[in-house]
Amino acid sequence: MSAGLLSLKNQFPFIIRITGLFSVITLVLLFYFLPRFTTEILEQKFNQIIIEQIDIPQTQQIERPPPPARPSIPIESEDEDLADDITIEETGLGDFEAWDAPPPPPSGPQVRFIPYDDPPVPLTPIRPKYPEIAQEAGIEGTVYIQAFIDAKGRVKELKVIKGIPNTGLDEAAIEAIRKTRFRPAKQRERPVGVYISIPVNFKLKG
């Protein structure tokens, strides 16, 4: 037993060397053959890829229309047969007449608004005289008169705003307001002349 152990102990370094050398050779062979094997696998994979070729149609070129021709430059005529006494008369607008011109605005009193604090008040009731023609026809209604009352309470301007024509009621309302005296309007405790609208009622009794 002791002889076998001594023999194995003597052979151990040799076995270690042989084993190391075999390991180195194996690693060298692996590094040598492994890249080739990997390259072959990659080549097989790349060979399996199919690239399709698609024909792209050529873009149609749209032809632009040619540019318009340049205007010709007038050239002085060399014809000597033209008359020298030809003249062009000047066109004037003096004889021009306006066609379908709008009519001028109607003339009338221009109402100017005058501010006031207290309106004018009639000192006596406005009592118009009922026209006989309107009474016989049984015509009733209200006539609206626009009046200018000056700073002294006198009626200066009268105009029918809304009336009942051809009945005599408009004239009766104007006459009744003209005979009426007013307390003038006031602005900051001072009398002023103003325009007011006065309704005059006409109503038959019974």
What pLDDT was estimated at residue 114? 81
* Distances in whole angstroms, Cα of residue 96 to Cα of each of 91, 92, 93, 103, 104: 11, 8, 5, 18, 19
* Distances in whole angstroms, Cα of residue 113 to Cα of each of 105, 127, 159, 193, 196: 20, 27, 16, 10, 10
Q: How confident is the model at residue 35 (pLDDT cuts 50, 70, 90)?
A: low
How far separated are the first and last CA of the chain, in Å rounded? 167
pTM attached to this predicted model = 0.46
Measure the CA angle with vertex 133, ends 131 and 139; round to 5°: 85
Q: How confident is the model at residue 90 (pLDDT cuts 50, 70, 90)?
A: very low
Architecture of domain 121-202: 2-Layer Sandwich (3.30)
Fill in the DSSP letter of residue 190: E
* Of 130, 115, 205, nearest in space to 168 by CA: 130
Compute the mean pLDDT over every residue in the chain, rounded to the nearest whole number. Answer: 75
What pLDDT was estimated at residue 13? 74
Q: What is the mean pLDDT of residues 145-156?
A: 94
* Of 121, 118, 203, 131, nearest in space to 166 by CA: 131
The answer to whether the beta carbons of residues 162 and 190 sit under 8 Å apart is no
Contacts of 150 (CB under 8 A, 6+ apart): 156, 184, 193
